[in-house]
């Protein structure tokens, strides 16, 4: 996910970071400027002391160099009564420089005047202490500015994001099937207005799509169900004709079953195409659906050495459409019957699940992960790859869990968990 934080948080964070960076840069500039001004002040003080001491020596050659807490000096050769310059100072070049002597930082001025070398030292201890206090104040200022920028960013973000939040609430409350006033009427012609216009355009396209979908489902419901009912009725009447041979009656029954399957699939697709919740007032008996599915597809076992074991441990009452449930169970039973040439198909119905275990050809491991994909057909399949994908869609609609365990040549174990769609029993 590219953006995992709220827009208000990102605006406030950007504002806080900008304020922190700006205050940090300003504080660094102030500190460097203060440090440079302090050095220039010490240098000017040393030069003024040097001129004053030189003038005093010209009047009195025996005048001693300054010796205060801040400024101290030496002369080489030293006048009577004055100490000679330390060895650490005698190696310093003429001019201004910094010196660490006896653990104390000094600013040093060395000059050669009138045949003598003058050394003046400025103790930087007090200046360093002032700079440390100033640095602490600047750091506190950076922290305060960052906090103020963060608070201001949150307030400003709330003001900036409020129109976006209002637009989001308006869009959230919209129903594509209902008419509504254009969003652009309530928002300015800026970036937010462009977003509102985009939503209006998208909703108009979505509404047109819904109208086309309604027209399509209505046409399909009428144009397909009517001929299918005619075919199914004609096949049923033909199958009851006593003059037919067994082979002809079998063909008529196949036509009848195909028409019935087509009607059920059409019903399922129309129900799944509707944009509605999974809730339903219909209560379906799972036992009745399982028995009907077994009887409906038992003809697939004709001529096979396959035994069907049906075990009914409970009859859960499911809040589901019976036609959709019959499609789910029918697809699972049909697959088990089709792919089991010998052995047995064990069907167990419990309160919370339906289990179908067969000893058939099984499913290869590389195909098992794709069996619910639309139009996917395994190497052993003779269908169109619709049944299991349709089964999965119906299961997802009702919140059912479906799990398949299988391997090539070792049969298949299918478990259908009913989950929360089980209706309460009296």
Confidence at residue 196, expressed as pLDDT on a 0 to 100 scale: 80
Cβ neighbours of residue 312 closer than 8 Å, sequence gap 6 or more: 287, 290, 349
Confidence at residue 364, expressed as pLDDT on a 0 to 100 scale: 84
What radius of gyration, in Å, describes the C-alpha atoms of the chain? 47
Tokens of 341: 């040439």
Cβ neighbours of residue 17 closer than 8 Å, sequence gap 6 or more: none
pLDDT greater at residue 197 or residue 175: 197
- Say if 168 falls within a structural domain: no
Residue that is last in its domain, among 276, 307, 336: 276
Q: Are residues 71 and 198 in the same domain?
A: no
| Residue listed under structure tokens 């994001």 | 161
Confidence at residue 379, expressed as pLDDT on a 0 to 100 scale: 56
For the chain, the average pLDDT equals 83
Domain of 113 in residue numbering reads as 7-144
- Say if 164 falls within a structural domain: no
Confidence at residue 425, expressed as pLDDT on a 0 to 100 scale: 45
Confidence at residue 357, expressed as pLDDT on a 0 to 100 scale: 95
Could you tell me which residues are beta bridge partners of residue 317? 285
Residue among 65, 63, 69 at smallest CA distance from 122 = 69
Q: Pairing between strand 116-123 and 104-113?
A: antiparallel
Residue 157 pLDDT exceeds 70: yes
Dihedral (CA of 350, 353, 354, 357) sign: negative
Average pLDDT over residues 33-45: 92
- Say if 76 falls within a structural domain: yes
Confidence at residue 254, expressed as pLDDT on a 0 to 100 scale: 78
Confidence at residue 177, expressed as pLDDT on a 0 to 100 scale: 65
Residue that is last in its domain, among 122, 144, 166: 144
Confidence at residue 278, expressed as pLDDT on a 0 to 100 scale: 46
CATH value at residue 265: 1.10.287
Q: Are residues 246 and 182 in the same domain?
A: yes
- Say if 162 falls within a structural domain: no
Q: What Å distances lie between residue 206 and 68, 186, 212, 213, CA to CA? A: 89, 21, 10, 10
- Say if 149 falls within a structural domain: no
pLDDT greater at residue 109 or residue 221: 109
Cβ neighbours of residue 167 closer than 8 Å, sequence gap 6 or more: 183, 187, 192, 195, 196, 199
Q: Are residues 34 and 134 in the same domain?
A: yes
Residue that is last in its domain, among 209, 243, 276: 276
Confidence at residue 422, expressed as pLDDT on a 0 to 100 scale: 60
Q: Are residues 270 and 361 in the same domain?
A: no
Separation between Cα atoms, residue 287 and residue 267, nearest integer Å = 21
Residue 68 pLDDT exceeds 80: yes
Confidence at residue 277, expressed as pLDDT on a 0 to 100 scale: 45
Confidence at residue 71, expressed as pLDDT on a 0 to 100 scale: 93
pLDDT tens digit string along 146-155? 888 888 888 8
Cβ neighbours of residue 297 closer than 8 Å, sequence gap 6 or more: 330, 333, 334, 337
Q: Are residues 271 and 329 in the same domain?
A: no
pLDDT greater at residue 364 or residue 1: 364
Q: In whole angstroms, what separates CA 248 from the centre of its chain?
A: 61
Q: Are residues 327 and 241 in the same domain?
A: no
Confidence at residue 280, expressed as pLDDT on a 0 to 100 scale: 54
The count of structural domains within the chain is: 3
- Whether this prediction's pTM lies above 0.75 is answered by no
- pLDDT confidence of 279, banded at 50, 70, 90? very low
- Say if 158 falls within a structural domain: no
Confidence at residue 349, expressed as pLDDT on a 0 to 100 scale: 95
- Say if 350 falls within a structural domain: yes
- Say if 299 falls within a structural domain: yes
Q: Are residues 24 and 106 in the same domain?
A: yes
Please, are residues 389 and 375 in contact by the beta-carbon 8 Å criterion? Answer: yes
Q: Are residues 405 and 285 in the same domain?
A: yes
**Residues 226/228/229/231 CA torsion (nearest 10 deg):** 120
Please, are residues 367 and 350 in contact by the beta-carbon 8 Å criterion? Answer: no
pLDDT tens digit string along 76-108? 888 887 888 888 888 888 999 998 888 899 999
- pLDDT confidence of 274, banded at 50, 70, 90? low
Residue among 290, 363, 374, 381 at smallest CA distance from 332 = 290
Could you tell me which residues are beta bridge partners of residue 113? 116
CATH value at residue 324: 3.30.565.10
Q: Are residues 264 and 296 in the same domain?
A: no
pLDDT tens digit string along 365-389? 888 888 888 766 665 555 556 778 8
Q: Are residues 115 and 51 in the same domain?
A: yes
pLDDT greater at residue 206 or residue 224: 206
pLDDT greater at residue 296 or residue 257: 296
Average pLDDT over residues 338-350: 93
High-pLDDT (> 90) share of the chain, % = 27
| Residue listed under structure tokens 């930087």 | 124
Q: Are residues 374 and 305 in the same domain?
A: yes
């Amino acid at each position: 996910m590219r953006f995992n934080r709220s827009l208000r948080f990102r605006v406030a964070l950007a504002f806080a970071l900008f304020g922190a960076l700006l205050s940090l840069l300003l504080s660094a500039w102030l500190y460097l400027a203060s440090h440079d001004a302090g050095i220039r002040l010490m240098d000017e003080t040393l030069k003024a002391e040097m001129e004053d001491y030189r003038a005093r020596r010209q009047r009195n050659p025996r005048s001693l160099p300054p010796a205060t807490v801040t400024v101290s000096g030496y002369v080489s050769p030293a006048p009577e009564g004055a100490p000679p310059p330390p060895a650490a100072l005698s190696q310093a070049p003429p001019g201004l420089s910094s010196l660490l002597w006896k653990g104390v930082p000094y600013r040093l001025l060395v000059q050669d005047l009138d045949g003598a070398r003058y050394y003046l030292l400025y103790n930087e201890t007090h200046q360093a202490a002032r700079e440390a206090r100033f640095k602490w104040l600047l750091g506190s200022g950076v922290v305060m500015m960052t906090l103020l920028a963060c608070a201001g960013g949150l307030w400003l973000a709330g003001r900036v994001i409020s129109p976006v939040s209002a637009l989001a609430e308006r869009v959230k409350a919209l129903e594509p099937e209902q008419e509504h006033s254009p969003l652009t009427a309530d928002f300015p012609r800026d970036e937010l207005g462009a977003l509102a216009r985009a939503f209006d355009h998208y909703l108009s396209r979505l509404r047109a799509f819904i109208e086309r979908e309604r027209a399509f489902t209505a046409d399909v419901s009428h144009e397909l169900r009517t001929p299918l009912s005619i075919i199914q009725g004609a096949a049923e009447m033909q199958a009851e004709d006593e003059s037919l041979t067994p082979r002809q009656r079998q063909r008529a029954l196949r036509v009848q079953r195909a028409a019935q399957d087509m009607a059920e699939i059409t019903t399922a697709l129309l129900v799944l195409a509707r944009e509605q919740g999974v809730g339903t007032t219909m209560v379906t008996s799972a036992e009745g659906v399982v028995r009907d599915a077994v009887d409906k597809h038992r003809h697939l076992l004709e001529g096979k050495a396959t035994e069907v074991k049906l075990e009914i441990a409970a009859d859960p009452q499911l809040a589901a459409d019976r036609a959709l449930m019959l499609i789910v169970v029918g697809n699972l039973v049909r697959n088990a019957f089709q792919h089991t040439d010998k052995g047995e198909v064990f069907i167990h119905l419990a309160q919370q699940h339906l289990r179908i275990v067969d000893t058939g050809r099984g499913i290869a491991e590389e195909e098992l992960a794709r069996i619910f994909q639309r139009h996917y057909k395994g190497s052993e399949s003779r269908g169109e790859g619709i049944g299991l994908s349709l089964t999965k869609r119906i299961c997802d609609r009702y919140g059912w869990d479906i799990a398949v365990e299988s391997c090539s040549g070792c049969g298949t174990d299918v478990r259908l968990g009913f989950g929360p769609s089980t209706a309460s029993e009296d």
